[in-house]
C-alpha cells in the first residue's frame, strides 16, 4: 500500500475543450510519459475533455477521473469579484442538468469575448475575433487565448502581463460574465453523482485564518466535500493548514497542477512549477468516498 503513495497524480488539467493547448489524447500520452498514476481532466465549464478521453480509451496503467471546473459567483458569505472555482470529480458526463448548466456558462464566456476585444481595440491593440478563432480549432475561446494572441502580436511580453495589465478583474479590458451561484454549482455536481471541491483556496486571498475557517464551514453547509490542498503556488504553510482543515472538517483532499500547456507555459503536468507532488492515495480516497456516499 505504502509504495502507492510514492506514485504521482494530477487532478487538475485543462484540455482543448477549454483553454488548455493539449487535446485529451495528448494529455493521456503525456501523463503516461510522466508515469502519472491517475489524472482528471477538469475543463472550465465543460465535460467535453473528459468525454473525449473516455471515448479514446484510458490505458490500463493510468487511472482516470471525470472532472469539471465550474466558474461560480462568490457565495453571499464570501463576497468578491471574479470567479469562485468549484471543481467536480467523478461526475456523470451525460447528466442533463449539468450539461445544460455548462452550456449556459459556455455561452456566457463566448458572449463577452467581442466586448473584451472591443476594449482592447480602443486601447490601441488591433486584434480581431477571426484572428483568434483561427488559433482555437475546438473548445472555448476565453481570456487566455486572447492573452496568447496579444503575446504573439508583440503587445505584451507574457500571458501574465496581458492579464496583469489588461484582462484581469478590474483592469481596462476586463468584462464581467454571468456565473452560476456557488450553491448551485455544488448541488449540480452532487446531482451528477460527483464530488464538489473548493479549487485553489490560496487564489482567494483570504485575509486571515478565521475567515478561511468560516468560509469552509459555510461551504460545507451548502454541500462542499473537498478542498484542493496541493496546487502550484500553495506555500508549505498553506498546504499544512489546508491539510489540517481537511482533517478537522472531514473534507477530502485533492491536488493538481492546473496544467494549461502553452497557455500557462510555466506550469508542468504532474509537477506544477517544479515542486508539486500529489500522492496517489488522494485519488483512492476520492473514488472510495464517491462510491460510498455520492452515487445513487
Ligand atoms: P476566462 O474563463 O476567459 O475568464 O479565463 C479564465 C482563465 O484565465 C483561467 O484558466 C485562468 O487560468 C486564467 N487567468 C485568470 N487570471 C489570470 C491571471 N491573472 N494571470 C494568468 N492567467 C489568468
Ligand atoms: Zn484556464
Ligand atoms: Fe481555477
Ligand atoms: Fe483550472
pLDDT for residue 296: 44
pLDDT over 50 at 295, yes or no:
no
pLDDT over 90 at 4, yes or no:
no
Question: With a 6 A CB cut-off, is 143 part of the ligand 1 pocket?
Answer: yes
pLDDT for residue 81: 86
230 within 8 A of 276, measured Cβ to Cβ: yes
Grade residue 176 by pLDDT with cuts at 50, 70 and 90.
Answer: very high
Model confidence pLDDT, tens digit, residues 8-41: 999 999 999 999 999 999 999 999 999 999 999 9
Buried b (16+ CB within 10 A) or exposed e, 89-117: bbbbbebeebbebbeebbebbeebbeebb
Question: With a 6 A CB cut-off, is 145 part of the ligand 1 pocket?
Answer: no
Pocket test for ligand 1, best of 71, 163, 174, 260 (most atoms within 8 A of CB): 163
From ligand 2's centre to the CA of 123, what distance in Å?
A: 24
Give Cα separations from 217 to 128, 208, 213, 250 (angstroms). Answer: 45, 15, 6, 11
CA–CA dist 136, 19 (Å, integer): 9
Pocket test for ligand 1, best of 18, 19, 84 (most atoms within 8 A of CB): 19
pLDDT for residue 6: 87
pTM for the predicted model, two decimal places = 0.96
Q: Report the DSSP beta bridge partners of residue 66.
A: 41
The mean pLDDT of 151-176, rounded to a whole number, is 97
For cell 450553491, name the residue. Answer: 183
The mean pLDDT of 109-135, rounded to a whole number, is 94
The mean pLDDT of 92-114, rounded to a whole number, is 97
pLDDT over 90 at 71, yes or no:
yes
Amino acid at each position: 500500500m505504502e509504495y502507492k503513495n510514492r506514485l504521482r497524480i494530477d487532478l487538475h488539467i485543462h484540455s482543448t475543450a477549454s483553454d488548455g493547448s493539449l487535446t485529451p489524447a495528448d494529455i493521456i500520452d503525456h501523463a503516461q510519459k510522466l508515469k502519472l498514476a491517475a489524472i482528471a481532466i477538469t475543463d472550465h465549464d465543460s465535460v467535453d475533455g473528459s468525454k473525449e478521453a473516455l471515448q479514446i480509451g484510458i490505458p490500463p496503467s493510468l487511472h482516470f477521473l471525470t472532472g469539471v471546473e465550474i466558474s461560480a459567483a462568490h457565495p453571499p458569505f464570501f463576497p468578491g469579484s471574479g470567479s469562485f472555482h468549484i471543481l467536480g470529480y467523478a461526475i456523470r458526463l451525460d447528466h442533463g442538468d449539468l450539461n445544460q448548466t455548462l452550456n449556459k456558462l459556455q455561452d456566457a464566456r463566448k458572449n463577452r469575448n467581442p466586448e473584451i476585444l472591443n476594449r482592447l481595440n480602443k486601447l490601441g491593440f488591433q486584434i480581431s475575433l477571426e484572428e483568434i478563432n483561427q488559433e482555437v480549432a475546438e473548445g472555448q475561446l476565453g481570456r487566455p487565448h486572447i492573452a496568447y494572441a496579444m503575446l504573439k502580436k508583440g503587445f505584451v511580453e507574457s500571458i501574465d502581463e496581458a492579464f496583469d495589465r489588461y484582462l484581469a478583474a478590474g483592469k481596462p479590458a476586463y468584462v464581467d460574465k454571468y456565473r452560476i451561484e456557488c450553491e448551485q454549482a455544488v448541488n449540480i455536481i452532487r446531482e451528477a453523482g460527483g464530488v464538489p471541491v473548493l479549487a485553489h483556496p490560496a487564489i482567494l486571498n483570504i485575509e486571515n485564518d478565521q475567515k478561511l475557517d468560516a468560509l469552509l464551514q459555510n461551504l460545507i453547509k451548502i454541500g462542499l466535500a473537498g478542498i484542493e490542498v496541493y496546487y502550484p503556488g500553495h506555500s508549505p504553510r498553506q498546504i499544512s493548514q489546508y491539510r489540517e482543515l481537511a482533517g478537522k472538517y472531514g473534507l477530502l483532499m485533492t491536488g493538481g497542477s492546473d496544467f494549461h500547456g502553452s497557455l500557462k507555459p510555466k506550469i508542468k503536468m504532474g509537477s506544477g512549477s517544479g515542486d508539486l507532488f500529489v500522492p496517489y492515495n488522494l485519488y483512492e480516497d476520492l473514488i472510495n468516498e464517491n462510491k460510498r456516499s455520492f452515487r445513487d
